[in-house]
Chains A and B, each alone.
Chain A
Amino acid sequence: MNALFSMSRKDVITFVLFAAVVLLMPIWLQPFGAAYPDLMQKFAIFGILAIGFNVLFGLTGYLSFGHAAFLGVGSYTAVWTFKLFSMNPIPALILAVVISGIFALAIGFVSLRRSGIYFSILTLAFAQMSYNLAYSVLTPITNGETGLQLTLDDPRIVDSAFGGVNDGSLPVSNLFGLVDMSGISGFYFCAVFLIIGFFITQRIFASPFGMMLRAIKSNQTRMNYTGFNTRPYTLTAFVISGMFAGLAGGLMAVTDPLAGAERMQWTASGEIVLMTILGGVGTLIGPVVGAWLIKYFENIFSSFNESVLHNLFSFLPDNVESFVVSVTSMFVGEGWHLTLGLIFVLVVTFLPGGMMEGFRRIGSLFNRDGGDKAKPDEPAPAPAPAE
């Protein structure tokens, strides 16, 4: 037990830095124009999602293409807890994590019988099944295309037992009636979970269990020959990362009590993979940075439109300006996904280690001792995107 709390000094520094960066977001995001609660909530939630995914893909090398299913399950569970029991986020999150964990256990038990691309296809198949079912037959549970929402006549047995008032408006989730889970307090609530999640992954990375997972990634056959049964380890990793996704889904429901099937679609799974890759697979900070970057640029880019562009390039001569605008308009606003796809292709091609590898390469340029001293846990210099 003691070993669990004896972190190396570097780990402690990383953790403290990370916690500080997350908690001070409302301040340092100010100059980037991203310091509003909705976006910061997304930063925290998708950060959790990405670090969870990284536990599976980064450590074991199993590429799951169906992680969005757990996100969806978490969201649905949380919204149902709100509807049936209480608007308190704690039970909702606990249930979301537990149910998505069970779900992950079932899917992982089957999918992990195969590896490589077969595993990817199996998880993809399961996620698509969940998505299709959520859209069609399971409509009584998922409310199909409309999405699951709170209604005024929900029982909410715990809340009403404690004299919850029904004032004719939809309730918002709140922590024991003290703090509303919207706006900035909602962000801090999510941020706390992000920091806890980061701490857990840090411990996993440093633990013998984490070593085992890395060994599976580098050569599973050899692991088997040396007498290890790898299945329980991969299954544990799968369930852990499924629970992280469930937590993220639950938090989405906490900040905005709504769950829709499109959260489970395979493009959503693809986005999770993208975040992790962009940031840096297998590094501690990388996936979080990737998630922040993608969410940040999604927000910035999709708010651009033609008139903004015209203002931006108004210093150019007229005909040049209209040309430049027509070209750039492909990449912003509605076309944001095009930029995302391009970045993704470029990153995978030239920088398979993601942003973290990029930082390390830049770092080794200034470090005469050579770049061979790989520092996988090096904290990001500044997770803020360069403007």
Chain B
Amino acid sequence: MDAIFLQFLNGLDKGGAYALIALGLTLVFGTLGVVNFAHGALFMLGAFCAVTVRKILTLEMIATDPEKVTAWGTPLEIRTPYVEAWFGDFGSFMVDYSVPFSILLAIPVMLVIGIVMERGLIKHFYRRPHAEQILVTFGLAIVLQEIIKHYFGANPIPQPMPSVVGGAADIGAAMGMDPNVIVYPWWRLIYFAFSVVVIGAVFAFLQFTTFGMVVRAGMADRETVGLIGIDIDKRFTAMFGLAAVVAGMAGVMYTPLLPPDYHLGMDFLVLSFVVVVVGGMGSLPGAVAAGFLLGILQSLASMTEIKAIIPGIDQIIIYLVAVIILLVRPRGLLGRRGVMES
């Protein structure tokens, strides 16, 4: 029982990442009608925002200490990051918290990337067949990841989490169970909470603001909204930017859990597409629900007890579920009628 609960928890952070990416994918699809295979690359770009910020923050000032010498007789070098030299304690605090700080960079950067991408390329593909949309965004994803590979190399770059939350939380004890049975890394909890907050914020934005209302109206009937005299294209471009920001933030926060490398996006993209399809193309709640569901299912399937019964199930569970859902409930869990059924 404890083991199951622990695996359930383990699924939450992964599920959170799937849900965030799938949310963005669905948002883009629901507004622009574009199947965006480059969305995983946006997740990856977000992760590399964190890498960049950390690189800048840890640029080191090298001073030599004339008093001491190393074993080789050269003066001892003292390396301190510039920010620490300039800001003292606040500087080291910034270095320690580089991942959360990166969100501040990631938001504007991803917004710009998203809008440029939409205006520069995606815009021309509104009325083209879905196959061509898939192909062009697939090509774009390759371009983006190769650029990252060129500048950051092919190896994963580990990002430390803030040291305060480096440990694990004894959740079992907090819930009145025996201590040290269910221990869970803090950062995973934070990631889960973060994804819930972001998802909540996106839904609130769509539900409770005028802008969101117009967007929802546009998703339902683009033409009519246009006839009222609203420039719906502009709002949809903004939604693409928003989706890019969500994916980017998801990427930033995921870096301590999984060292980012250039094909991180592709790995997540395939899964996120499966998530979107399982949740129902075009359904935002469906995408979120399916994200968490598949994340949890995946981590349950990787329990040794289950692997003993069906070997290899952890590798294929997500795809298997997708196949079954698509065959039994072709529109996905919460899909609407008439979406992508041509």
Contacts and interface: CB of A to CB of B under 8 A. Distances in A.
A137 B125 CA distance: 41
A126 to B, nearest CB: 7
Contact of A345 (B121, B281, B323, B341): B121
Nearest to B143: A341
A101 B136 CA distance: 30
A191 interface: no
A125 B319 contact: yes
A126 B323 CA distance: 8
Interface in B189-233: none
Nearest to A63: B131
B330 A118 contact: yes
A18 interface: no
Nearest to A127: B319
A348 B139 contact: yes
Nearest to A57: B131
Contact of B312 (A136, A335, A344): A136
A63 B136 CA distance: 14
A261 to B, nearest CB: 12
Nearest to B323: A125
Contact of A348 (B136, B311, B342): B136
A110 B327 contact: yes
B150 A335 contact: yes
Given A133-B315, A338-B147, A341-B146, A121 B266 contact: no
B43 interface: no
Contact of A121 (B121, B143, B273, B320): B273
Given A116-B130, A132-B315, A344 B273 contact: no
Contacts of B273: 121, 124
A72 interface: no
B311 A137 contact: yes
B140 A341 contact: yes
A222 to B, nearest CB: 12
A106 B128 CA distance: 31
A312 interface: no
Contacts of A330: 147, 150
Contacts of B150: 330, 334-335, 338
Nearest to B322: A125
Interface in B135-173: 135-136, 138-143, 146-147, 149-150
A337 B142 contact: yes
Contacts of A124: 270, 273-274
Contact of B140 (A110, A334, A345): A345
Given A125-B319, A345-B140, A348-B139, A114 B270 contact: no
Contact of B134 (A120, A133, A137, A340): A120
Contact of B319 (A63, A129, A270, A277): A129
Contacts of A344: 135-136, 138-139, 142
Q: Assign chain B's interface to a size class.
A: 35 or more
Nearest to A345: B139
Contacts of A115: 342
A138 B316 CA distance: 12
A111 to B, nearest CB: 8
A47 interface: no
B124 interface: yes
Given A122-B326, A129-B319, A338-B147, A117 B340 contact: yes
B9 interface: no
Most chain B beta carbons < 10 A, residue from A114, A117, A138:
A117
Nearest to A124: B270
Contacts of A277: 135
Contacts of B178: none
A267 B270 CA distance: 11
Contacts of A61: 131
Contacts of A341: 139-143, 146
A122 B135 contact: no
Contacts of A137: 311-312, 315
A266 interface: yes
B132 interface: yes
Contact of B341 (A116, A135, A266): A116
Given A63-B134, A133-B312, A137-B311, A267 B140 contact: no
A117 B35 contact: yes
A302 to B, nearest CB: 13
Interface in A90-120: 110, 113-118, 120
A338 to B, nearest CB: 4
Contacts of A349: 121, 124-125, 136
Contacts of A274: 139
A338 B41 CA distance: 14
A121 B311 contact: no
B19 interface: no
A319 to B, nearest CB: 21
A171 interface: no
A344 B139 CA distance: 6
A383 interface: no
A110 B323 contact: yes
B277 interface: yes
Contact of B326 (A114, A267, A273, A342): A114
A301 B62 CA distance: 40
B96 to A, nearest CB: 34
Contacts of A266: 266, 270
A352 interface: yes
Interface string A50-72: 00000000000101000000000
Contact of A132 (B128, B274, B316, B322): B316
The 10 closest A-B pairs by CB, nearest first: A137-B312, A341-B142, A344-B139, A338-B146, A132-B315, A341-B143, A125-B319, A345-B139, A348-B136, A129-B316
Given A63-B131, A125-B319, 17 more contacts: A110-B323, A120-B131, A121-B274, A121-B322, A122-B322, A122-B323, A125-B322, A132-B316, A136-B312, A136-B315, A267-B266, A270-B138, A273-B138, A341-B143, A344-B136, A344-B142, A345-B136
11 contacts: A63-B134, A117-B134, A120-B134, A121-B274, A121-B322, A126-B323, A135-B315, A338-B143, A341-B139, A348-B139, A349-B125
